[in-house]
């Protein structure tokens, strides 16, 4: 069976995966871009955005694991758009005409709408489904490849609580946010299901990897 994977998900030292006050002008609320500066500095990201340069090393090596072997993505409504996007029939996500997913992408929402086909192989599908049912649907679309659980923090937390994530990469960024949405709330002892490894980068980021041990 294909794996459910999380990649490049950034949290603050105090565990927040996004800030407070999300809006069209502030996709991550008061956190701004601080959670993702490590990734934006990598050669991988520069290549993704068509810019020269960028840094190599450990951060770049982790960032590059985002796409290989992925056949579908699942994301939450809050990742797809700002509060109120459901009321705008023209909203097609933050990423312009060619989103970076290049696979079927399933948006979990209580207000489904018709699928949206984008450039580059991304098609957004809108599901009102449990984590288990959404993963089953995404696995069918992934055609034997793995499924990326793309966030935000509430979605990843729900999939962890349901025991559905096989591999996870969390980047712990050396900032304190103080408020927002935490990743780990309600997940006491979840580490017992995983082999956990940590690697520290010169950027100050600690890369945590969780690999499920035993049957999923």
pLDDT at residue 1, rounded to an integer: 82
pLDDT per residue as tens digits for the range 149-185? 999 999 999 999 999 999 999 999 999 999 999 999 9
Report DSSP state, residue 2: P
pLDDT per residue as tens digits for the range 45-69? 999 888 999 999 999 999 999 999 9
Relative to beta strand 167-173, strand 206-212 is: antiparallel
Flag whether pLDDT at 29 surpasses 90.
yes
Q: Could you state, in order of their start, the residue ranges of all structural domains in the chain?
A: 4-87+96-212
pLDDT at residue 126, rounded to an integer: 98
Flag whether pLDDT at 216 surpasses 60.
no
pLDDT at residue 215, rounded to an integer: 60
| Assigned architecture for domain 4-87+96-212 | 3-Layer(aba) Sandwich (3.40)
Reported pTM:
0.95
Report DSSP state, residue 22: -
Flag whether pLDDT at 190 surpasses 70.
yes
Tokens of 124: 């957004």
Other Cβ atoms closer than 10 A to 86: 16
166 vs 211: CA distance, rounded Å:
6
- Residues 135-148 have a mean pLDDT of 98
pLDDT per residue as tens digits for the range 71-103? 999 999 999 999 999 999 999 999 999 999 999
At 214, the pLDDT band (50, 70, 90 cuts) reads confident
């Amino acid at each position: 069976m294909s794996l459910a994977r999380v990649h490049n998900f950034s949290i603050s030292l105090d565990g927040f995966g996004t800030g407070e006050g999300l809006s069209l002008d502030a996709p991550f609320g008061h956190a701004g871009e601080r959670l993702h500066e490590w990734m934006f500095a990598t050669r991988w990201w520069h290549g993704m955005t068509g810019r020269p340069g960028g840094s190599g090393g450990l951060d770049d090596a982790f960032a590059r694991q985002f796409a290989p072997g992925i056949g579908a993505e699942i994301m939450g409504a809050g990742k797809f758009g700002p509060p109120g996007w459901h009321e705008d029939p023209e909203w097609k996500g933050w990423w312009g005409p060619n989103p970076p997913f290049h696979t079927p992408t399933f948006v979990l929402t209580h207000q489904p709408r018709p699928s949206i086909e984008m450039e580059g192989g991304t098609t957004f599908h809108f599901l009102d489904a449990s984590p288990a049912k959404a993963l089953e649907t995404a696995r069918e679309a992934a055609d034997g490849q793995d499924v990326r659980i793309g966030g935000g923090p509430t979605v990843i937390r729900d999939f962890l609580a349901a025991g559905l994530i096989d591999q996870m990469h969390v980047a712990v960024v050396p900032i304190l946010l103080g408020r927002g949405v935490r990743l780990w709330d309600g997940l006491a002892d979840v580490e017992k299901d995983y082999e956990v490894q940590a690697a520290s980068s010169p950027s100050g980021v600690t890369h945590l990897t969780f690999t499920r041990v035993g049957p999923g």
